[in-house]
Structure 1
Amino acid sequence: MVRNVHTRRFPHPVPPELLAGLGTPDDRLWPVADWPPTRLDGPPVPGTTAGHGPVRYVLEEVEPDRLRFRFTAPKGLHGYHEFTADDGTLTHVLAGTLHGWARLSWPLVFRPLHDALLEQLLDRAELAVTGRVARPVRWSPYVRFLRTLATMRAGRLSPADHA
C-alpha cells in the first residue's frame, strides 16, 4: 500500500477557484514551467479523463473543496489521488496499491518526481493565497538527475512517440 501526503497550511482560506481551475486553461496551481501539464479532456465533471505525462486518471468526485481522480495508468498503479482544501490548508493524497514493475518504479523514479512536483504545486498555491512563497522548494540532486535522464530520453523520441 502506498499513501503519499503533501499538505501546506496558509494564513487565509484557499480560494475555491484554485481547485476548480486544475487542469483547465485557468490553472494557477500546476507548475507547467517545469512539468508536463495536467489536462482535463473535458469539463470538470465526474467521468472526465485527465492526465499528465504517462499518468492518466478519471475524475471521480468534484466538490468546491475537493477533487478526486482514479488512476488508469501507468500500469501497476491502482488507486486515487485527491486534492482537498479545508479552511487554510491544501492537501494532496495519493493512495493505492502497486503491482509488477510499479513496485520498483514508484520508489525509485515516480515518488521523488511526484514529491518535487507536489511541493512546487503547493508553492504556487502559497503564492496565490499569500502573494509570496516563504521557502520555495528546491529539487534534490536525485530529482535533478532523474529529470536530466527524462530530458535526454525525450530528446531521442520522435513527437509521435509522445502521443
Structure 2
Amino acid sequence: MHPIRILFLHGWQSSPGGLKPSHLARHGHEVINPPLDDDDFEAALETAQATLHAHQPNVIVGSSRGGAVAMNLHSGDIPLVLLCPAWRHWGHADRVKPGTLILHSRGDETIPFADSQELVARSGLPEGCLIEVGRDHRLADPEPLQAMLEACERQAHTQP
C-alpha cells in the first residue's frame, strides 16, 4: 500500500496529534493535522481550506466538529471520511458528496447516530456508506481505529 496524504480535521476541544491521526500516521500515511479554532467556525474553515489547498490530500477525515468543517469545504473530488459528524451544530452543509463514508457509533452520547442516518438519506447515499462502529463518540478503541484506517485506504483508491 502506497502512503496516502490525509487531511485530518479534529473535533471541538481536541487538538492536532491525537489518537486517531497518530493511528493513521503509525500505519505509514502522511497526516496533515492543522489546529482548528474552537470558538470561530469560519476561522476553522479558513484554516482547513488553506491547508487543503496547500497540501492537496488524497482523503479528508473530519471528526465530530471537524466533520462539519469537512462538509463545508470546497474539496472537489477529494473523498471524505466523516467520524460522528456534528453537521447539525456547525456550518451550513446538510448533505455530503457521493462516495462519502461515515463512521458512527449507536452508543454515541454526543452526536446521535440518527443524525448520520439522516445525513445519508438527505445526501442520497447508499446505506453501506454509514458504517456502524465503536462504543461511543470518541471512536478510540481498536475496532473503530481500524475501520477508520480501512475507510481512508478505500477512499484513496476511489480517486480519479
**TM (normalized to structure 2)?**
0.33
Give the structure with the larger helix fraction. Answer: 2
Higher strand share: 1
- The normalised TM-score by structure 1 is 0.32
If asked which structure has higher relative contact order (CA below 8 Å, sep 6+), I would say 1
Which protein has the larger Cα radius of gyration, Structure 1 or Structure 2? 1
